[in-house]
């Protein structure tokens, strides 16, 4: 009895501490709820409509009538049994991997260059990067068309004058591979400023004392970057890689305008163009919705790997 009486007054205090701990732990979730509700309203309803549309036969007639015919998973089955879809998917994955690798590699090298140059050169290069980033894709496509024009393009002229080869009236869009290669140069050129400036900002967080300590210990070049710099900038590299995957996998404007609608054929389809051709050109909006959902799932699966690695890096730090 005495022991019970002695411990009894501790129960209300322990209860108060538990409630306070629960309330403190709930604060982050309460702060996130408004964001979740807003994102759910902005994204949830369109995705719901997209899923509903993908389960219907919804062509031009149904569009006029504002009413589709429910056909279940037929649209998904027709897409997954279409050889063009699988060829386009493989081509897009290779295209995305090439673009992301080039963008991240060149962007990181450019950021490392910004760290080493003088202040006025750094300002000049940064202004140039910002100007490149600010150019709309449609304008950039027109610049690329002018540069690669087979009749009077500056690229053919410069390469010929430098004795790289005879590029007189050379057509850079004669094969699907060369067409997508030109699109790759345009996409990488447009994405480079964002990556370079973001990585440069991350590099500014690397302690100079750590680098000097590594140099004193005999580390050089690549070893310093791998053991000192890389752990600091790894989170931003993972974020940039995830964003690049999202942008490059679904890219549409640059390949469609640069290749030209008259020259777009199944052999140079990317997923964005395939979606446009199936959904809008053929006015099969239900099939187009099914392709959109499949693209959304594939992008989510590709991104989850980088998101998990980013969270793991954050926990380690």
Q: How confident is the model at residue 170 (pLDDT cuts 50, 70, 90)?
A: confident
Q: Is the pLDDT of residue 306 over 80?
A: no
Q: What is the pLDDT of residue 13?
A: 53
Q: Distances from the Cα of 268 to the Cαs of 149, 171, 175, 261, in angstroms?
A: 19, 16, 9, 11
Smallest CA-to-CA distance from 104 within 242, 255, 206 is with 242
Q: What is the pLDDT of residue 270?
A: 94
The H or E element spanning position 56 is strand 56-57
Q: What is the pLDDT of residue 311?
A: 67
Helix 137-147 to helix 154-161 angle, to the nearest 10 degrees?
40
Position with higher pLDDT, 61 vs 22:
61
**Percent of the chain predicted with pLDDT > 70:** 89
Q: Is the pLDDT of residue 4 over 80?
A: no
Mapping DSSP to helix (H, G, I), strand (E, B) and coil, where does residue 70 land?
strand
Question: What pTM, to 2 d.p., does this model score?
Answer: 0.82
Q: Which residue blocks in the chain are alpha helix, DSSP H?
A: 2-7, 10-39, 45-54, 60-65, 74-80, 83-116, 119-134, 137-147, 154-161, 176-203, 208-216, 221-224, 230-249, 253-259, 271-276, 285-316
Instruction: Report the half-sphere exposure of 85 (CA within 13 A, side-chain side).
Output: 17
Smallest CA-to-CA distance from 115 within 231, 221, 201, 212 is with 201
Q: Which CATH number fits domain 74-316: 3.40.50.2030, 1.10.230.10, 3.40.640.10, 1.10.3720.10?
A: 1.10.3720.10
240 burial level (CB within 10 Å; 0-12, 13-18, 19+) = buried
Q: What is the DSSP string of 22-46?
A: HHHHHHHHHHHHHHHHHHIIIIIHH
Q: Once rounded to an integer, what is the mean pLDDT over residues 245-261?
A: 91
Mapping DSSP to helix (H, G, I), strand (E, B) and coil, where does residue 69 land?
strand
* Domain boundary assignment for the chain: 2-54, 74-316
Q: Is the pLDDT of residue 57 over 70?
A: yes
Q: What is the pLDDT of residue 9?
A: 53
Read off the pLDDT of residues 278-294 as tens digits, 9 standing for 90 and up: 998 988 999 999 999 99
Read off the pLDDT of residues 107-156 as tens digits, 9 standing for 90 and up: 999 998 998 888 898 899 999 999 998 999 999 999 999 998 888 888 88
Number of C-beta neighbours around residue 118 at 10 A: 8
- Residue 248 tokens read as 């490059």
Q: Is the pLDDT of residue 1 over 50?
A: no
């Amino acid at each position: 009895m005495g022991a019970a009486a002695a411990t009894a007054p501790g129960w209300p205090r322990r209860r108060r501490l538990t409630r306070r701990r629960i309330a403190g732990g709930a604060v982050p979730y309460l702060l996130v709820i408004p964001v979740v509700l807003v994102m759910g309203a902005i994204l949830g309803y369109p995705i719901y409509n997209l899923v509903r549309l993908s389960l219907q036969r919804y062509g031009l007639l149904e569009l006029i009538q504002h009413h589709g015919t429910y056909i279940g998973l037929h649209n998904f089955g027709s897409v997954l049994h279409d050889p063009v879809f699988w060829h386009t998917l493989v081509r897009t994955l290779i295209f995305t991997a090439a673009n992301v690798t080039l963008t991240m590699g060149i962007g990181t090298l450019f950021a490392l260059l910004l760290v080493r140059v003088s202040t006025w050169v750094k300002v000049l290069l940064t202004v140039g990067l910002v100007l490149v980033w600010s150019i709309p894709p449609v304008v950039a496509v027109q610049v690329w068309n002018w540069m690669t024009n087979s009749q009077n393009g500056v690229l053919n002229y410069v390469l010929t004058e430098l004795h790289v080869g005879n590029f007189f009236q050379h057509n850079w869009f004669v094969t699907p591979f060369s067409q997508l290669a030109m699109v790759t140069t345009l996409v990488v050129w447009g994405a480079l400023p964002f990556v370079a400036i973001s990585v440069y900002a991350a590099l500014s967080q690397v302690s100079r004392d750590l680098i000097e300590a590594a140099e004193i210990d005999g580390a050089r070049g690549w070893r310093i970057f791998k053991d000192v710099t890389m752990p600091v900038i790894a989170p931003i590299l993972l974020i940039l890689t995830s964003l690049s995957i999202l942008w490059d996998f679904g890219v549409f404007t640059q390949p469609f305008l640069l290749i030209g609608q008259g020259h777009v054929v199944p052999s140079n389809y990317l997923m964005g163009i395939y979606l446009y051709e199936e959904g809008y050109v053929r006015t099969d909006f239900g099939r187009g919705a099914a392709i959109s959902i499949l693209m959304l799932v594939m992008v989510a699966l590709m991104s989850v790997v980088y998101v998990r690695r980013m969270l793991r890096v954050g926990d380690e730090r």
